[in-house]
Chain A
Amino acid sequence: MDQFSSLAGVFSYLSLLTVGGGMAAWPEMKTLVVATHHWMSEAQLIHVYSVGQMSPGPNMMMVAAIGVKVAWIPGALIAALAFFLPTGVLTFVVGRVWTKLANWPWRESIQRGLGPVAIGLAVAGLLSFGRGSITSWVALAVALAVFFATVRTKINPALLILGGALVGVVALH
Protein backbone atom coordinates (compact mmCIF):
# COMPACT_ATOMS: atom_id res chain seq x y z
CA MET A 1 0.00 0.00 0.00
CA ASP A 2 2.80 2.33 0.96
CA GLN A 3 4.52 1.57 -2.35
CA PHE A 4 1.41 2.67 -4.22
CA SER A 5 1.23 6.04 -2.54
CA SER A 6 4.96 6.57 -3.15
CA LEU A 7 4.49 5.72 -6.83
CA ALA A 8 1.52 8.05 -7.09
CA GLY A 9 3.35 10.88 -5.33
CA VAL A 10 6.59 10.58 -7.29
CA PHE A 11 5.01 10.34 -10.72
CA SER A 12 2.38 13.02 -10.31
CA TYR A 13 5.16 15.35 -9.14
CA LEU A 14 7.43 14.41 -12.05
CA SER A 15 4.65 14.90 -14.58
CA LEU A 16 4.39 18.59 -13.65
CA LEU A 17 8.03 19.08 -14.66
CA THR A 18 7.65 17.79 -18.21
CA VAL A 19 7.51 21.20 -19.84
CA GLY A 20 8.44 20.68 -23.47
CA GLY A 21 8.81 16.93 -23.04
CA GLY A 22 9.97 14.14 -20.76
CA MET A 23 13.68 14.91 -20.73
CA ALA A 24 13.16 17.98 -18.53
CA ALA A 25 12.08 15.68 -15.70
CA TRP A 26 15.08 13.33 -15.99
CA PRO A 27 17.35 14.80 -13.26
CA GLU A 28 14.50 14.72 -10.71
CA MET A 29 13.40 11.29 -11.88
CA LYS A 30 16.89 9.92 -11.39
CA THR A 31 17.10 11.41 -7.91
CA LEU A 32 13.69 10.10 -6.80
CA VAL A 33 13.70 6.66 -8.43
CA VAL A 34 17.35 5.79 -7.82
CA ALA A 35 18.55 7.69 -4.75
CA THR A 36 15.39 8.29 -2.74
CA HIS A 37 13.28 5.17 -3.30
CA HIS A 38 15.85 2.65 -4.60
CA TRP A 39 13.33 1.28 -7.09
CA MET A 40 16.04 0.78 -9.73
CA SER A 41 19.73 1.41 -10.32
CA GLU A 42 20.69 4.32 -12.56
CA ALA A 43 21.71 1.86 -15.30
CA GLN A 44 18.32 0.15 -15.12
CA LEU A 45 16.48 3.46 -15.23
CA ILE A 46 18.50 4.50 -18.30
CA HIS A 47 17.61 1.18 -19.96
CA VAL A 48 13.90 1.55 -19.27
CA TYR A 49 13.88 5.19 -20.36
CA SER A 50 15.62 4.24 -23.59
CA VAL A 51 13.16 1.45 -24.33
CA GLY A 52 10.48 4.13 -23.92
CA GLN A 53 11.93 5.83 -27.00
CA MET A 54 10.97 2.71 -28.96
CA SER A 55 7.42 2.71 -27.66
CA PRO A 56 4.59 3.88 -29.88
CA GLY A 57 2.62 6.87 -28.56
CA PRO A 58 3.80 8.90 -25.57
CA ASN A 59 7.37 7.78 -24.83
CA MET A 60 7.11 8.73 -21.17
CA MET A 61 4.80 5.76 -20.70
CA MET A 62 8.11 4.21 -19.63
CA VAL A 63 6.93 5.12 -16.12
CA ALA A 64 4.73 1.99 -16.38
CA ALA A 65 7.89 -0.14 -16.54
CA ILE A 66 9.13 1.44 -13.31
CA GLY A 67 5.73 0.70 -11.79
CA VAL A 68 6.08 -2.94 -12.86
CA LYS A 69 9.40 -3.19 -11.06
CA VAL A 70 7.89 -1.79 -7.86
CA ALA A 71 4.46 -3.43 -7.72
CA TRP A 72 3.84 -5.53 -10.84
CA ILE A 73 0.86 -4.61 -13.06
CA PRO A 74 -1.03 -2.63 -10.39
CA GLY A 75 2.17 -0.62 -9.97
CA ALA A 76 2.27 0.06 -13.71
CA LEU A 77 -1.31 1.28 -13.62
CA ILE A 78 -0.73 3.59 -10.66
CA ALA A 79 2.47 5.01 -12.16
CA ALA A 80 0.78 5.67 -15.51
CA LEU A 81 -2.32 7.24 -13.95
CA ALA A 82 -0.24 9.41 -11.64
CA PHE A 83 1.93 10.55 -14.52
CA PHE A 84 -0.79 11.31 -17.06
CA LEU A 85 -3.85 12.26 -15.02
CA PRO A 86 -2.77 15.47 -13.19
CA THR A 87 -1.19 17.12 -16.25
CA GLY A 88 -4.13 15.84 -18.28
CA VAL A 89 -6.64 17.63 -16.06
CA LEU A 90 -4.45 20.75 -16.04
CA THR A 91 -4.28 20.74 -19.85
CA PHE A 92 -8.04 20.20 -20.08
CA VAL A 93 -8.85 23.14 -17.80
CA VAL A 94 -6.22 25.53 -19.13
CA GLY A 95 -7.11 24.54 -22.70
CA ARG A 96 -10.62 25.83 -22.19
CA VAL A 97 -9.52 29.05 -20.52
CA TRP A 98 -6.57 29.67 -22.87
CA THR A 99 -8.79 29.94 -25.93
CA LYS A 100 -10.73 32.71 -24.26
CA LEU A 101 -7.50 34.55 -23.52
CA ALA A 102 -6.57 35.01 -27.17
CA ASN A 103 -6.21 38.76 -26.70
CA TRP A 104 -4.48 38.68 -23.31
CA PRO A 105 -1.02 40.16 -24.06
CA TRP A 106 0.79 38.01 -21.45
CA ARG A 107 -0.31 34.88 -23.26
CA GLU A 108 2.30 35.46 -25.92
CA SER A 109 4.89 36.38 -23.28
CA ILE A 110 4.33 33.06 -21.51
CA GLN A 111 4.63 31.07 -24.71
CA ARG A 112 7.67 33.01 -25.88
CA GLY A 113 9.41 32.93 -22.50
CA LEU A 114 8.92 29.26 -21.73
CA GLY A 115 10.30 28.17 -25.11
CA PRO A 116 14.00 28.67 -24.30
CA VAL A 117 13.51 27.45 -20.71
CA ALA A 118 12.04 24.19 -22.04
CA ILE A 119 15.04 23.79 -24.36
CA GLY A 120 17.43 24.49 -21.48
CA LEU A 121 15.76 21.95 -19.20
CA ALA A 122 15.83 19.33 -21.96
CA VAL A 123 19.54 19.96 -22.59
CA ALA A 124 20.22 19.74 -18.85
CA GLY A 125 18.32 16.45 -18.66
CA LEU A 126 20.09 15.11 -21.71
CA LEU A 127 23.54 15.98 -20.33
CA SER A 128 22.72 14.13 -17.13
CA PHE A 129 21.27 11.21 -19.08
CA GLY A 130 24.26 11.15 -21.44
CA ARG A 131 26.76 11.01 -18.59
CA GLY A 132 25.14 7.79 -17.46
CA SER A 133 24.65 6.20 -20.86
CA ILE A 134 27.63 7.22 -23.02
CA THR A 135 30.15 5.10 -21.18
CA SER A 136 32.21 3.77 -24.09
CA TRP A 137 33.57 4.89 -27.45
CA VAL A 138 31.12 2.57 -29.17
CA ALA A 139 28.22 4.23 -27.34
CA LEU A 140 29.50 7.65 -28.37
CA ALA A 141 29.74 6.51 -31.99
CA VAL A 142 26.18 5.14 -31.89
CA ALA A 143 24.84 8.38 -30.39
CA LEU A 144 26.59 10.50 -33.04
CA ALA A 145 25.46 8.24 -35.87
CA VAL A 146 21.84 8.37 -34.71
CA PHE A 147 22.07 12.14 -34.24
CA PHE A 148 23.24 12.74 -37.81
CA ALA A 149 20.87 10.18 -39.30
CA THR A 150 17.93 11.91 -37.58
CA VAL A 151 18.99 15.41 -38.58
CA ARG A 152 19.87 14.52 -42.17
CA THR A 153 17.27 11.90 -43.12
CA LYS A 154 13.63 11.07 -42.44
CA ILE A 155 14.36 7.56 -41.22
CA ASN A 156 11.96 6.09 -38.63
CA PRO A 157 13.49 6.74 -35.19
CA ALA A 158 12.37 3.33 -33.93
CA LEU A 159 14.61 1.71 -36.57
CA LEU A 160 17.58 3.77 -35.40
CA ILE A 161 17.01 2.64 -31.83
CA LEU A 162 16.84 -0.98 -32.98
CA GLY A 163 20.08 -0.38 -34.88
CA GLY A 164 21.60 0.83 -31.63
CA ALA A 165 20.51 -2.40 -29.97
CA LEU A 166 22.16 -4.41 -32.72
CA VAL A 167 25.44 -2.52 -32.43
CA GLY A 168 25.25 -3.00 -28.68
CA VAL A 169 24.93 -6.76 -29.01
CA VAL A 170 27.71 -7.05 -31.59
CA ALA A 171 30.21 -4.59 -30.14
CA LEU A 172 29.60 -4.47 -26.42
CA HIS A 173 28.65 -8.02 -25.62
Chain B
Amino acid sequence: MSESVVPQPAAVASKPQVALLDMFLTFLQIGATSFGGGVVAYLRSALVGKKKWLDDVEFLELMSISNTLPGLNATNMAILAGDRLCGTAGSVAAMLGMCLPAFIFMTAAGIAYDSSTGSRPMVTAALHGVAAAAVGLIAATWYQIGKKSVKGFYDAFFILAAVLGVNHFKISVPVVLIGVGAVAIFAYRPRKPEKEDPDQWISSLR
Protein backbone atom coordinates (compact mmCIF):
# COMPACT_ATOMS: atom_id res chain seq x y z
CA MET B 1 0.00 0.00 0.00
CA SER B 2 1.48 3.30 -0.97
CA GLU B 3 1.45 5.90 1.77
CA SER B 4 -0.58 8.35 -0.22
CA VAL B 5 -3.90 6.55 0.11
CA VAL B 6 -3.70 5.66 3.79
CA PRO B 7 -6.09 7.96 5.64
CA GLN B 8 -4.32 10.46 7.83
CA PRO B 9 -5.66 10.41 11.38
CA ALA B 10 -5.18 14.18 11.56
CA ALA B 11 -7.35 14.72 8.52
CA VAL B 12 -10.12 12.57 9.95
CA ALA B 13 -9.96 14.33 13.28
CA SER B 14 -10.30 17.76 11.69
CA LYS B 15 -13.26 16.62 9.60
CA PRO B 16 -15.35 19.69 8.91
CA GLN B 17 -18.95 19.82 10.04
CA VAL B 18 -21.10 19.92 6.94
CA ALA B 19 -24.78 20.74 6.97
CA LEU B 20 -27.03 18.27 5.18
CA LEU B 21 -28.63 20.93 3.02
CA ASP B 22 -25.22 22.24 1.97
CA MET B 23 -24.21 18.70 1.12
CA PHE B 24 -27.33 18.14 -0.97
CA LEU B 25 -26.98 21.44 -2.83
CA THR B 26 -23.29 20.95 -3.54
CA PHE B 27 -23.88 17.54 -5.08
CA LEU B 28 -26.97 18.82 -6.88
CA GLN B 29 -24.76 21.39 -8.54
CA ILE B 30 -22.14 18.79 -9.48
CA GLY B 31 -24.91 16.48 -10.71
CA ALA B 32 -26.32 19.23 -12.89
CA THR B 33 -23.10 20.55 -14.39
CA SER B 34 -20.71 17.61 -14.82
CA PHE B 35 -20.56 15.87 -18.17
CA GLY B 36 -19.09 12.71 -19.59
CA GLY B 37 -15.98 11.19 -18.12
CA GLY B 38 -15.17 14.52 -16.52
CA VAL B 39 -17.24 13.99 -13.39
CA VAL B 40 -14.15 13.18 -11.31
CA ALA B 41 -12.59 16.55 -12.19
CA TYR B 42 -15.80 18.34 -11.17
CA LEU B 43 -15.93 16.42 -7.88
CA ARG B 44 -12.35 17.25 -7.09
CA SER B 45 -12.66 20.94 -7.81
CA ALA B 46 -15.82 21.17 -5.70
CA LEU B 47 -14.91 18.96 -2.72
CA VAL B 48 -11.17 19.57 -2.47
CA GLY B 49 -10.92 22.98 -4.10
CA LYS B 50 -13.96 25.10 -3.44
CA LYS B 51 -15.47 23.53 -0.32
CA LYS B 52 -12.28 22.14 1.26
CA TRP B 53 -14.32 19.29 2.72
CA LEU B 54 -11.64 16.76 1.76
CA ASP B 55 -7.91 17.01 1.16
CA ASP B 56 -6.19 15.41 -1.82
CA VAL B 57 -5.13 12.36 0.17
CA GLU B 58 -8.69 11.62 1.29
CA PHE B 59 -10.04 12.29 -2.19
CA LEU B 60 -7.63 9.78 -3.73
CA GLU B 61 -8.46 7.23 -1.07
CA LEU B 62 -12.18 7.53 -1.80
CA MET B 63 -11.46 7.35 -5.55
CA SER B 64 -9.56 4.11 -5.09
CA ILE B 65 -12.53 2.55 -3.28
CA SER B 66 -14.94 3.98 -5.82
CA ASN B 67 -12.99 2.49 -8.75
CA THR B 68 -12.74 -0.97 -7.26
CA LEU B 69 -16.43 -1.37 -6.48
CA PRO B 70 -19.25 -1.76 -8.98
CA GLY B 71 -21.22 1.41 -9.60
CA LEU B 72 -20.26 4.65 -11.31
CA ASN B 73 -17.61 7.00 -10.01
CA ALA B 74 -20.13 9.82 -9.79
CA THR B 75 -22.51 8.00 -7.45
CA ASN B 76 -19.91 6.00 -5.55
CA MET B 77 -18.01 9.18 -4.76
CA ALA B 78 -21.21 10.91 -3.63
CA ILE B 79 -21.94 8.06 -1.22
CA LEU B 80 -18.40 7.79 0.14
CA ALA B 81 -17.85 11.54 0.54
CA GLY B 82 -21.33 12.03 1.98
CA ASP B 83 -20.76 9.31 4.56
CA ARG B 84 -17.32 10.58 5.49
CA LEU B 85 -18.55 14.14 5.96
CA CYS B 86 -21.88 13.63 7.69
CA GLY B 87 -22.68 9.98 8.06
CA THR B 88 -25.56 7.99 6.64
CA ALA B 89 -27.81 10.99 6.09
CA GLY B 90 -25.01 12.81 4.29
CA SER B 91 -24.56 9.84 2.03
CA VAL B 92 -28.24 9.84 1.09
CA ALA B 93 -28.29 13.63 0.59
CA ALA B 94 -25.22 13.56 -1.66
CA MET B 95 -26.53 10.62 -3.69
CA LEU B 96 -29.92 12.27 -4.22
CA GLY B 97 -28.31 15.54 -5.28
CA MET B 98 -26.00 13.77 -7.70
CA CYS B 99 -28.79 11.73 -9.31
CA LEU B 100 -31.72 14.12 -9.45
CA PRO B 101 -30.70 16.28 -12.46
CA ALA B 102 -29.74 13.22 -14.52
CA PHE B 103 -32.98 11.47 -13.61
CA ILE B 104 -35.05 14.43 -14.77
CA PHE B 105 -32.96 14.81 -17.92
CA MET B 106 -33.12 11.13 -18.91
CA THR B 107 -36.79 10.69 -18.03
CA ALA B 108 -37.64 13.71 -20.18
CA ALA B 109 -35.38 12.40 -22.95
CA GLY B 110 -37.07 9.01 -22.71
CA ILE B 111 -40.52 10.55 -23.01
CA ALA B 112 -39.44 12.71 -25.96
CA TYR B 113 -37.78 9.72 -27.63
CA ASP B 114 -40.77 7.48 -27.05
CA SER B 115 -43.11 9.89 -28.79
CA SER B 116 -40.80 10.78 -31.67
CA THR B 117 -39.28 7.58 -33.04
CA GLY B 118 -40.52 6.32 -36.31
CA SER B 119 -42.29 9.57 -36.99
CA ARG B 120 -39.19 11.66 -37.52
CA PRO B 121 -36.30 10.27 -39.57
CA MET B 122 -34.36 13.40 -38.70
CA VAL B 123 -34.32 12.40 -35.02
CA THR B 124 -33.00 8.99 -35.99
CA ALA B 125 -30.28 10.56 -38.15
CA ALA B 126 -29.25 12.87 -35.30
CA LEU B 127 -29.13 9.96 -32.85
CA HIS B 128 -27.05 7.96 -35.29
CA GLY B 129 -24.51 10.77 -35.16
CA VAL B 130 -24.79 10.97 -31.38
CA ALA B 131 -24.11 7.23 -31.05
CA ALA B 132 -21.02 7.50 -33.27
CA ALA B 133 -19.76 10.42 -31.19
CA ALA B 134 -20.40 8.43 -28.00
CA VAL B 135 -18.17 5.62 -29.31
CA GLY B 136 -15.36 8.11 -29.90
CA LEU B 137 -15.84 9.70 -26.50
CA ILE B 138 -15.90 6.46 -24.52
CA ALA B 139 -12.97 5.07 -26.52
CA ALA B 140 -10.98 8.23 -25.72
CA THR B 141 -11.78 7.99 -22.01
CA TRP B 142 -10.57 4.40 -21.81
CA TYR B 143 -7.59 5.09 -24.05
CA GLN B 144 -6.46 7.74 -21.58
CA ILE B 145 -6.96 5.45 -18.59
CA GLY B 146 -5.21 2.60 -20.37
CA LYS B 147 -2.25 4.68 -21.51
CA LYS B 148 -1.46 5.64 -17.94
CA SER B 149 -2.23 2.42 -16.13
CA VAL B 150 -1.36 -0.49 -18.40
CA LYS B 151 2.10 -1.65 -17.56
CA GLY B 152 3.72 -4.88 -18.56
CA PHE B 153 2.62 -8.27 -19.72
CA TYR B 154 0.15 -9.12 -16.94
CA ASP B 155 -2.04 -6.08 -17.53
CA ALA B 156 -2.13 -6.61 -21.29
CA PHE B 157 -2.92 -10.28 -20.74
CA PHE B 158 -5.88 -9.63 -18.41
CA ILE B 159 -7.31 -6.97 -20.71
CA LEU B 160 -7.08 -9.35 -23.65
CA ALA B 161 -8.58 -12.22 -21.62
CA ALA B 162 -11.59 -10.08 -20.66
CA VAL B 163 -12.11 -8.80 -24.21
CA LEU B 164 -11.83 -12.24 -25.81
CA GLY B 165 -13.96 -13.86 -23.10
CA VAL B 166 -16.87 -11.50 -23.68
CA ASN B 167 -16.59 -10.79 -27.39
CA HIS B 168 -15.12 -13.90 -28.94
CA PHE B 169 -16.13 -16.72 -26.64
CA LYS B 170 -19.42 -15.07 -25.69
CA ILE B 171 -18.95 -15.82 -22.01
CA SER B 172 -21.28 -13.73 -19.87
CA VAL B 173 -19.86 -10.60 -18.24
CA PRO B 174 -20.24 -11.73 -14.59
CA VAL B 175 -18.39 -14.98 -15.29
CA VAL B 176 -15.54 -13.12 -16.99
CA LEU B 177 -15.49 -10.53 -14.21
CA ILE B 178 -15.23 -13.13 -11.46
CA GLY B 179 -12.99 -15.53 -13.41
CA VAL B 180 -10.43 -13.13 -14.85
CA GLY B 181 -10.78 -10.90 -11.79
CA ALA B 182 -9.83 -13.73 -9.42
CA VAL B 183 -6.80 -14.70 -11.51
CA ALA B 184 -5.73 -11.05 -11.79
CA ILE B 185 -6.02 -10.47 -8.05
CA PHE B 186 -4.02 -13.64 -7.46
CA ALA B 187 -1.36 -12.51 -9.94
CA TYR B 188 -1.00 -9.30 -7.95
CA ARG B 189 -1.15 -11.13 -4.62
CA PRO B 190 0.74 -9.65 -1.69
CA ARG B 191 4.45 -10.27 -2.05
CA LYS B 192 7.75 -8.77 -1.08
CA PRO B 193 8.01 -5.17 -2.23
CA GLU B 194 7.42 -5.11 -5.95
CA LYS B 195 7.19 -1.43 -6.49
CA GLU B 196 4.34 -0.58 -8.72
CA ASP B 197 2.17 2.34 -7.90
CA PRO B 198 -1.43 1.26 -7.31
CA ASP B 199 -2.52 4.88 -7.58
CA GLN B 200 -1.64 5.10 -11.25
CA TRP B 201 -5.02 3.86 -12.31
CA ILE B 202 -6.75 6.28 -10.03
CA SER B 203 -4.67 9.32 -10.76
CA SER B 204 -5.13 8.68 -14.45
CA LEU B 205 -8.79 9.46 -13.98
CA ARG B 206 -8.25 12.93 -12.64
Contacts and interface: CB of A to CB of B under 8 A. Distances in A.
Contacts of B166: 27, 120-121, 124-125, 128
Given A17-B177, A105-B190, A91 B106 contact: no
Nearest to A161: B133
Contacts of B72: 18, 21-22, 58-60
Contacts of A94: 65, 69
Contacts of B140: 146-148, 150-151
Given A65-B113, A95-B80, A120-B159, A90 B132 contact: no
B79 A133 contact: no
Contacts of B79: 88, 91-92, 95
Given A18-B72, A164-B129, A123 B163 contact: yes
B54 to A, nearest CB: 13
A35 interface: no
A16 B70 contact: yes
Contact of B139 (A64, A143, A156, A165): A143
A7 interface: no
A126 interface: yes
A95 B65 contact: yes
Contacts, number: 388
Contact of B143 (A76, A151, A165): A151
Interface string B143-163: 111100110001110111111
Contact of A134 (B111, B132, B165, B201): B132
Contacts of A156: 35-36, 38
* Interface SS majority for chain B: helix
Contacts of A21: 72-73
Contacts of A121: 162, 166, 173, 176-177
7 contacts: A51-B127, A57-B74, A66-B110, A116-B156, A126-B138, A139-B128, A168-B125
Interface of B: 1, 5-7, 30-39, 61-62, 64-76, 79-80, 83, 88, 91, 95, 98-99, 101-103, 105-107, 109-111, 113-114, 117, 121-122, 124-146, 149-150, 154-156, 158-163, 165-167, 172-174, 176-177, 180-181, 184-190, 196, 198, 201
Given A56-B105, A60-B72, A91-B71, 19 more contacts: A19-B69, A53-B138, A57-B30, A90-B70, A95-B83, A117-B177, A119-B146, A120-B160, A121-B173, A123-B159, A124-B166, A135-B128, A139-B131, A157-B38, A158-B35, A161-B133, A164-B131, A164-B136, A168-B129
